[in-house]
């Protein structure tokens, strides 16, 4: 097989795996892990059950991949906010505005909360999720510390403030699930006022 075909096959494989995970994310977030069946994921993805098993050994493997991918995706998102040009307020405003409309933010939040709180999830995965959650707070804490150094953000432990702010944002996105828009009047400037001096 030529290198070009190998690359093409890998791209197709990656795309199919992404398609399965995207479908699984929405099914599991809406139905919960125990109520979700591989047949549900396959039907949502528009593929056969056998095709799902070509990529994942079990529903638990899919869930673990979702958790890891969700936390990696969030990390990229928060680091993007940290590295935009502008003041700490500009960075936090960008984060807030974009998180409230983040396409999969609600589903990622539901899945990660389940991974952190359910006794059905292996303890090793729960521990890994908690460790990554704390690590993923660091870019937010950096934005807050920057704002504190310029006198814009309230004083206090930047990691604690990051935990409070991110936790609030997780809850808020659950009020903006597709089809359920309860926070239409909530704007980033109103939310950020909680952090400002």
Predicted confidence at residue 184, as pLDDT, reads 61
Q: Domain residue spans in the chain?
A: 1-56, 60-197
- pLDDT bin (cut points 50, 70, 90) of residue 2 is low
DSSP 8-state assignment for residue 85: S
Higher pLDDT, 180 or 55: 55
- pLDDT bin (cut points 50, 70, 90) of residue 101 is confident
Tell whether pTM > 0.85.
Answer: yes
What contacts 31, CB < 8 A, 6 or more positions away?
40
Q: Give pairs for 148-157: CB < 8 Å, separation 24+.
A: 150/87, 150/88, 151/197, 152/87, 152/88, 152/89, 152/196, 152/197, 153/88, 153/195, 153/196, 153/197, 154/195, 154/196, 154/197, 155/197
Looking at domain 1-56, its CATH architecture is Orthogonal Bundle (1.10)
CATH 1.10.357.10 fits 60-197, yes or no: yes
């Amino acid at each position: 097989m030529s290198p070009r075909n190998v690359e093409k096959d890998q791209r197709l494989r990656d795309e199919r795996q992404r398609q399965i995970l995207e479908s699984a994310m929405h099914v599991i977030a809406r139905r919960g892990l125990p109520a979700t069946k591989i047949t549900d994921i396959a039907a949502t993805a528009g593929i056969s059950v056998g095709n799902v098993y070509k990529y994942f050994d079990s529903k638990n493997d899919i869930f673990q991949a979702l958790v890891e991918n969700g936390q990696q995706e969030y990390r990229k998102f928060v680091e993007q906010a940290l590295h935009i040009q502008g003041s700490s307020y500009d960075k936090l405003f960008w984060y807030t505005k974009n998180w409230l409309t983040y396409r999969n933010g609600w589903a990622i939040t539901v899945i990660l909360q389940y991974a952190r709180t359910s006794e059905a999830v292996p303890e090793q995965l729960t521990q890994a999720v908690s460790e990554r959650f704390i690590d993923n707070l660091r870019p937010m804490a950096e934005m807050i510390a920057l704002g504190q150094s310029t006198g814009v953000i309230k004083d206090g432990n930047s990691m604690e403030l990051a935990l409070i702010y991110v936790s609030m944002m997780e809850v808020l996105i659950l009020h903006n699930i597709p089809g359920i828009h309860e926070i239409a009047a909530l704007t980033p400037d109103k939310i950020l006022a909680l952090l400002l001096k």
